[in-house]
Amino acid sequence: MTFLTKTLPRRTVLRGLGATVALPFLDAMHPGFSLRGLAAAQPAHRFQAFYVPNGMAMEYWTPEGEGPGFQLSPILEPLAPFKDQLIVLSGLNASWNYIHAGASGSFLTGTTRGGRNEIEIIADVSMDQLLARHFADETQVPSLELSLDPPNNAGACTGNLSCVYTHTLSWRSATQPLPTEWNPRAVFETLFGDSGSTDRNARNARLRQHRSLLDSVTDKLAALRRELGPGDQVKVEEYTEAVRDVERRIQKAEEQSGLELPAVEQPQGAPAVFEDHLDLMLDLQVLAMQADLTRVISFMIGKEQSARPYPQIGVPEAHHPLSHHNDVPELIEHMSKINRYHTELFSRYLAKLQATQDGDGSLLDHMTILYGSGISNSTRHSGVDLPLMLAGGGAGRLPSGRHLRFTEEPSMANLLVTLMDKMDVPVERIGGSTGILPIDTLSGLL
């Protein structure tokens, strides 16, 4: 086997006509790379929030047993292949519980209050934005705020409060919520475009060219491959093909929609089919983290009060009205089907992360993913005993494969502080936190 001596900076990009393409983590980016092919550098630790709306059918969510010997519940069963990389958390309460506004409004902020009307907007800096500030000098995109629903950032959506509370998890400051992006084309251009411009002429010219984003750097990619070892050559080829595949699918989605991309921050053109839209958005997130373009993502599979029906799984009822099941067993069982379908889709995402090499492991090994909802019993808008879990290897910082039950009803804000510590970005407080949540060890558990 031949080893070459080409050494690359960690933030290597290839620049071509109207395109800047970041590369995935390669062995050649290790400071000690040599003829002997030394071990890869320590990969980055990445964070993601994966939010599901409208609460949970808690009877079908909560696992039996505690500690490492817990049994997956019906909703969690699709995650069986990843049980050793899960921490299911029971007994945590919302820091701000005001119907749907408090659910998503406090999920990453830990805020104890919000506004009092549709024009008063107040919360706290969210955990993802604290991390984004920390990683801002190391990544091209500090954070991504994504959703499958178009945002509504004006007017009242719940309890006479501003729609911003139900349409985002991310807050740059106590009074500055960040809108989510739901259009895959816009996300792609943010990550891989030349300048992220939304100018209509520039965007339409790119579409008319009918040319892959990577075509303008093909020669440079070919030259780079000749200077890399065999393993890195395969990684570069796999990565560029993955980018091309996503681009092809986005272009196809736009052709089917028949919509022209407007020169605004929130263009239209997402696939009409829910699963197609989700797959595109998740593939883009994998690519973003694979190339280390960002290390922080907040993603809402649906906004609070989402009325999306799921006839494909035998649930024709709208999600939000169904969540107000009034404790009717048949309706709760229908609600649980939606909750389980979400974990099935999440399991497929975890499989993609696990299949993506990152240093000496996978992306999943080097991620901490917070999955859950800001409501437990949805018919009562309850903020008690939230349905929460952590997934991923946490870069070796998460003692996974356990169900932890907390009996003192700590605030979820304490979990946010703990996760910041696990990300090696310690903070004294987030929102109304009162301390660290002991997720490494818990009294009475092995």
Q: Of 52-66, 127-141, 144-158, 167-181, which range is least confident?
A: 144-158
> For 347-353, what is the mean pLDDT?
97
pLDDT exceeds 70 at position 185:
yes
Closest CA to 124 of 147, 106, 100, 101: 106
Q: Which residues contact 418 (CB under 8 A, 6 or more apart)?
A: 436, 437, 439
| Structural contact between residues 167 and 157, judged by C-beta atoms closer than 8 angstroms | yes
pLDDT of residue 343: 98
Question: What percent of the chain is modeled with pLDDT above 70?
Answer: 75
CA distances from 149 to 87, 163, 207, 263, 309 (A): 28, 13, 24, 19, 13
Distance CA 414, CA 92 (A): 9
pLDDT exceeds 50 at position 38:
no
pLDDT of residue 292: 86
pLDDT of residue 112: 96
Q: pLDDT confidence of 333, banded at 50, 70, 90? A: very high
CATH class of the 44-182+274-446 domain in this structure: alpha beta
Q: Return the beta strands (E) in 99-220 as ranges.
A: 144-147, 156-158, 161-162, 171-173, 176-177
Distance CA 59, CA 37 (A): 52
Distance CA 37, CA 27 (A): 8
Closest CA to 110 of 444, 428, 426, 417: 417
Q: Name 404's bridge partners.
A: 89
Q: Look at 378 and 219; give whichever has higher pLDDT.
A: 378
pLDDT of residue 138: 85
Residue type for position 299: F
pLDDT of residue 445: 41
Q: Look at 337 and 115; give whichever has higher pLDDT.
A: 337
Q: pLDDT confidence of 260, banded at 50, 70, 90? A: very low
What are the residue ranges spanned by the domains of the chain? 1-41+185-269, 44-182+274-446
pLDDT exceeds 90 at position 57:
yes
Residue type for position 220: K
pLDDT exceeds 90 at position 234:
no
pLDDT exceeds 90 at position 177:
yes
Assigned token pair, 360? 């000496």
Closest CA to 169 of 277, 50, 285: 50
pLDDT of residue 251: 60
Assigned token pair, 44? 């980055």
Distance CA 353, CA 347 (A): 10
Distance CA 31, CA 46 (A): 21
Q: Of 163-177, 236-250, 418-432, which range is least confident?
A: 236-250
pLDDT exceeds 60 at position 4:
no
pLDDT exceeds 50 at position 426:
yes
Closest CA to 140 of 295, 304, 365: 295
Q: Which of 38-42, 72-76, 257-261, 357-361 has the highest mean pLDDT?
A: 72-76
Q: Of 63-67, 142-146, 253-257, 302-306, which range is least confident?
A: 253-257
Closest CA to 170 of 203, 126, 220: 126
> For 338-344, what is the mean pLDDT?
98
Q: Look at 269 and 306; give whichever has higher pLDDT.
A: 306
Rounded to the nearest integer, the mean pLDDT of the chain is 83
